[in-house]
Amino acid sequence: MAVVVLALGWGRMLPPLVVGIVTILLAGAVLAAVHHAEVVAHRVGEPFGSLVLAVAVTVIEVALIVTLMVAGAGAAETLARDTVFAAVILTSNGIVGLSILVGARRDAIVSFNAEGAGAALATVATLATLSMVVPTFTTTTPGPVFSPPQLAFAAITALALYGLFVTLQTGRHRDYFLPVTGDGKVIEADHHAIRPSTRAALTSVGLLLIALIGVVGNAKLVSPTIERAVAAAGFPLSVVGVIIAILILSPETVAALRAARRGQMQISLNLAFGSAMASIGLTIPTIAVASIWLPVPLHLGLDGNHIVLLALTVVVTVLTVVPGRATLLQAGVHLALLAAYLFLALSP
């Protein structure tokens, strides 16, 4: 139903009643995406299951960004930067903080593999710094803009690091990304779930893609209404990107919270850091290639307050993942950083 409404409403101005219907179907598409992602995850096992949802959402998100930039939407030159940075903060503070909150309410102390979480965080921090902090300080071109050779270097580095991480995550160091018990013992599989058949898993792969198209597409349908509401409230236009990022990341958020509720905190971290990593590692190379034809310049460099938030997020997350255990205090710190980001988005 979400995809049908998307096909009927694409490119049209929607009345308030239809926007309400689209929002309800958007929520349904989120729940459907999470369900089918979990079916696939039970079939292929971890950490492949976490990769399926993160990469699928990111691929469609990249397509949406490119489409909006080609159309010359408002603040199109900063759209990729704002979306990717929002994804990094929302995943590293929002998903991580909420997952620890849910898991700690269940077990008081949540446990995960510090080696896997630390490796993922190091990759996210490197990708974010090279792609969004360095452009602010380069001098070859004025403004927060890479020169063509610099953009090519950043794109190749991002793709190479992401490819290396996925290769190690699913191969030689797969054990680092599996759920663990309180004493550090690896949980190889979810014994409470029945492993679906190949046919059911393939069906869920197709339905997952359809559901994700419904999520991203319907988020785009309601974005004009959101943009008008943001402008009427006097908030910066970048707030629209934050809201759209929240909608797009909602499947990963719901899936991560479900995993935390089952006591599988490592899966929650895989989803959080994997989504941030995929958002940078796939978006920057794609945008770098698309910038050849884009009608607007590509601003990737962050401003000062966002650089401070990114640095603080990295430091706090390091202190969270290094012990391999976390409590409600860590959840509160991450959620405070998320609240600071959202507040500064409304009042920069």
Token pair for residue 313? Answer: 């997020």
Q: Are 89 and 341 in contact (CB under 8 A)?
A: yes
d(C-alpha 148, C-alpha 154), whole Å? 10
Q: How many CA atoms lie within 13 A of 213 on its CB side?
A: 13
Q: Are 220 and 71 in contact (CB under 8 A)?
A: no
CA distances from 147 to 62, 210, 296 (A): 21, 37, 14
Name the nearest CA neighbour of 274 among 165, 164, 137: 165
**What range defines the domain where residue 158 resides?**
2-346
User: Going by C-beta distance under 8 Å and a sequence separation of 6 or more, which residues neighbour residue 178?
Assistant: 46, 47, 113, 186, 187, 188, 266
For residue 289, the SS3 value is helix
User: Going by C-beta distance under 8 Å and a sequence separation of 6 or more, which residues neighbour residue 13?
Assistant: 224
d(C-alpha 166, C-alpha 215), whole Å? 25
pLDDT of residue 177: 84
d(C-alpha 108, C-alpha 171), whole Å? 32
Looking at residue 90, its amino acid is L
Residue 223 sits in a domain whose CATH number is 1.20.1420.30
pLDDT of residue 89: 94
d(C-alpha 37, C-alpha 259), whole Å? 12
Looking at residue 212, its amino acid is L
pLDDT of residue 183: 62
| CA-angle at 251, arms to 157 and 178, nearest 5° | 65
Angle between helices 79-89 and 304-321 (to 10 degrees): 30
What is the residue-level pLDDT of the chain in tens, covering all 348 positions?
888 888 888 777 778 788 888 888 888 887 888 788 778 877 877 667 667 767 777 777 777 777 666 655 556 678 788 888 998 999 999 999 999 999 998 778 898 999 999 999 999 999 999 999 999 999 888 888 899 899 999 999 999 999 899 888 887 888 888 877 666 666 655 544 567 888 888 898 889 888 888 877 887 787 777 777 777 888 887 787 787 778 778 888 888 999 899 888 988 999 899 889 988 888 888 888 887 777 677 888 999 999 999 999 999 999 999 999 999 999 999 999 999 999 998 888
Q: pTM of the full predicted structure?
A: 0.82
CA distances from 213 to 2, 103, 107, 220, 338 (A): 9, 30, 36, 10, 27
Domain count, the chain: 1
> Cβ atoms within 10 A of the Cβ of 123, count?
24
Say if residue 292 is exposed, middle or buried (CB neighbours under 10 Å; 0-12, 13-18, 19+): exposed
* Virtual torsion, Cα 331, 334, 339, 341, nearest 10 deg: -170
List, as one string, the DSSP characters of 45-99: -TTHHHHHHHHHHHHHHHHHHHHHHHTT-TTGGGHHHHHHHHHHHIIIIIIHHHH
Q: Are 272 and 118 in contact (CB under 8 A)?
A: no
Q: Of all residues in the chain, what percent are helix, strand and coil, respectively (each to 5)?
A: 75, 0, 20
